[in-house]
Amino acid sequence: MSRSVLSFLTARVAFWLVLACAAVLRFWQLDTIPPGLWYDEALYCLNALSIRWGYFPIFFMLDDHPVEPLYVYTLAIAFALFGKEVIVARAVSALWGTLAVALCYPLARRFFSPRWAIAACWVYSVFRWPLHFSRTIFRAVTPPVFIMLVVIFFLRWRDQRKLRDALLCGLFLGLGLYTYISFRLVPLMWLGWVGWLLYRQELVWHRDWKHLAVIVATAFVVSLPLVADFVIHPEHFRGRIDEVSMFHDQIIKRSPDGSEQKELIAKPLSKIVTGLAENALAVARMWTFKGDHVGRHNLPYEPVFDWISGVIFYLGVAVSLYYAARCEWAFLPLWWLAVLACASVFSFGAPNILRMQGAIPAVVLLYVTGLRLIYKKVSLVSSARIAQVLAVCALAWFGLWQLDSYFRRFAQSPAVRNEFLTDTFYEPARAARLLAPEVQHLWVSQDLANHLTFRFVTCDVPNIRAFTSLMDIPTTTPRPAAVLISMAAWQEDVRKAVDPAGTLQKLDARLLREFSLLLPISQNQDEWNRAPWARLWILPAKHPERSALTKEGK
């Protein structure tokens, strides 16, 4: 067998092994890491459940939260096939994330040899940033897939000048606009790339303009339904932008009738410039100094890289800056990262790695560029064997640090548990869902019942009854029954001179379970205490026979 064939087979086997590893990491303990279900995750799921025969919206606005449709439709398909479960929704993201790892190989092969392309796949598969969002229910998991497809097919078109590749590039450019708001930056990224190629005379306008026009026209035709929706409903286009923009302040005005209305106030130029500069600095620092603070995105304040991996990444950035004016392999990842970083720079709360997910492939390419530079330098001053060992050790260290950060420290963080509403809405909803078949009516205080997380987890529970006060529960309610009341509703009853304990005693209620909220008792959040949040009570049947759950609660 020739060496080239053997090398090809080795690379193919290595690719499938890395892809299998990526899939395992994305599906392993998917029901417990991350814990709970955040409000926005539930919103996507409820949007998916709203799709029915004759109702196929092009844009979703549940709870006045604008959402592009592509990810929601994949959730709807999964729910139709496998049921309305949180783990089913998370599995959809895991599949998107695994697909992104698979696409990383053909992308990296355009820049590196097969071995370094495999290294890029490995980095992508164990990288905490894409790994986490492959296990959560956010539509922002989808842009990397479509950006990589746009880049791959544009590079293929560059090589062969085939109309098919131009059409596919335009197709994925148009489809990507249905994924997430940050994808709107990708046409800018592509235009800048085309401009660089024209400047370098790697594209010739009179020869290539027709196929470039095909890409633009295809993208426009594919995105036309979404564009039409934006024309008819401008708030769908600008709604989320207005919410997070650094150019406006949002204030709430109360009308004489008591209704509230949001109003946008333009910021002064000095405040805009200061805010953008602070955001740019925050994004620059997130790599090794201070990362995203939001526990739904990241272990709070954990940087993207440890310092060893960070130095490798910085080397990749440095060598790419050096060659960017004359080498496409250096220009494209830098330009890609710079454009997609604007999703965080131009919105509040920087650094926000959820909004920047489209930049992940570029970050991986820059890291591998830095590692390859180290390999080449070590090979020159020492030997190829030592350079190989060093590269393998760097990749192994990267994987160990990233996976430990996610599966141990992130998974055990009380701040993360709180961010995902584990004890406040998710666990009470799961308990209510498990108990529902045992009772005739399940009475739930309105603040819990109306929350999106509670609504999705209990979406197929028909016997839930919401109440605002325990006095709303009739003494003649069918038995056995249950009451789930938050401490906020309990205290509201006390404020209204209603005796909650006495009311439950009259209903012959027995406490089945208490839910508590984790609260930090130190400023750096290394010590936590529990406070009562909600209680689940059983109202037993008025006859000797009792269910197993009633006996358990006695």
**How does residue 290 score in pLDDT terms, banded at 50, 70 and 90?**
very high
Q: What is the pLDDT of residue 63?
A: 82
Does the pLDDT value for residue 463 go beyond 70?
yes
Q: What's the Cα-to-Cα distance from 437 to each of 87, 480, 534, 544, rounded to whole Å? A: 21, 10, 21, 19
Beta-bridged to residue 535, according to DSSP, are 485, 514
Per residue in 140-154, pLDDT tens? 999 999 999 999 999
Q: What is the pLDDT of residue 354?
A: 98
Q: What is the pLDDT of residue 323?
A: 98
**How does residue 39 score in pLDDT terms, banded at 50, 70 and 90?**
very high
Q: What's the rounded mean pLDDT across residues 373-402?
A: 96
Q: What's the rounded mean pLDDT across residues 538-548?
A: 64
Instruction: Judge whether 121 and 334 are in contact, CB under 8 Å.
Output: no
CA distance 485 to 468: 9
- Among 56-70, 273-287, 301-315, 383-397, the range scoring the smallest mean pLDDT is 56-70
Does the pLDDT value for residue 550 go beyond 90?
no
Does the pLDDT value for residue 267 go beyond 90?
no
Per residue in 476-487, pLDDT tens? 889 999 999 999
Q: What's the Cα-to-Cα distance from 289 to each of 57, 224, 286, 461, rounded to whole Å? A: 42, 42, 6, 46
Q: What is the pLDDT of residue 265?
A: 84
Q: Measured between alpha carbons, how far apart are the two ends of the chain, in Å?
A: 74
Per residue in 172-203, pLDDT tens? 999 999 999 999 999 999 999 999 999 999 99
Q: What is the pLDDT of residue 548?
A: 43
Q: 409 or 64, which is more confident?
A: 409
The model carries a pTM of 0.93
Q: What's the rounded mean pLDDT across residues 539-552?
A: 56
CA distance 385 to 108: 23
Residue type, 263: E
Other C-beta atoms lying within 10 Å of the C-beta of residue 409: 12
Give percent of the chain with pLDDT exceeding 70.
94
Does the pLDDT value for residue 546 go beyond 50?
no
Q: What is the pLDDT of residue 425?
A: 97
Per residue in 391-449, pLDDT tens? 999 999 999 999 999 999 999 999 999 999 999 999 999 999 999 999 999 999 999 99
- Among 9-13, 391-395, 467-471, 530-534, the range scoring the smallest mean pLDDT is 9-13
Other C-beta atoms lying within 10 Å of the C-beta of residue 459: 16
**How does residue 553 score in pLDDT terms, banded at 50, 70 and 90?**
very low
Q: 525 or 21, which is more confident?
A: 21
Q: What is the pLDDT of residue 278?
A: 97
What 3-state class would DSSP assign to 539?
strand
Which backbone phi and psi does 66 adopt, to 5 degrees?
A: -70, 130
Q: What is the pLDDT of residue 442?
A: 96
Does the pLDDT value for residue 542 go beyond 60?
yes
Instruction: Share the mean pLDDT of the chain.
Output: 93
**How does residue 551 score in pLDDT terms, banded at 50, 70 and 90?**
very low
Does the pLDDT value for residue 544 go beyond 50?
no
Per residue in 493-518, pLDDT tens? 999 988 999 989 888 899 999 999 98
Q: What is the pLDDT of residue 533?
A: 96
Give the tokens for residue 514: 């208490």
Instruction: Judge whether 322 and 330 are in contact, CB under 8 Å.
Output: yes
Q: What is the pLDDT of residue 82?
A: 97
Give percent of the chain with pLDDT exceeding 90.
81
Q: What is the pLDDT of residue 545?
A: 45
Sign of CA dihedral 191, 195, 198, 202: negative
Q: What is the pLDDT of residue 547?
A: 42
Per residue in 302-337, pLDDT tens? 999 999 999 999 999 999 999 999 999 999 999 999
Q: Diameter of the chain by CA atoms?
A: 90
Does the pLDDT value for residue 210 go beyond 60?
yes
Does the pLDDT value for residue 2 go beyond 70?
no
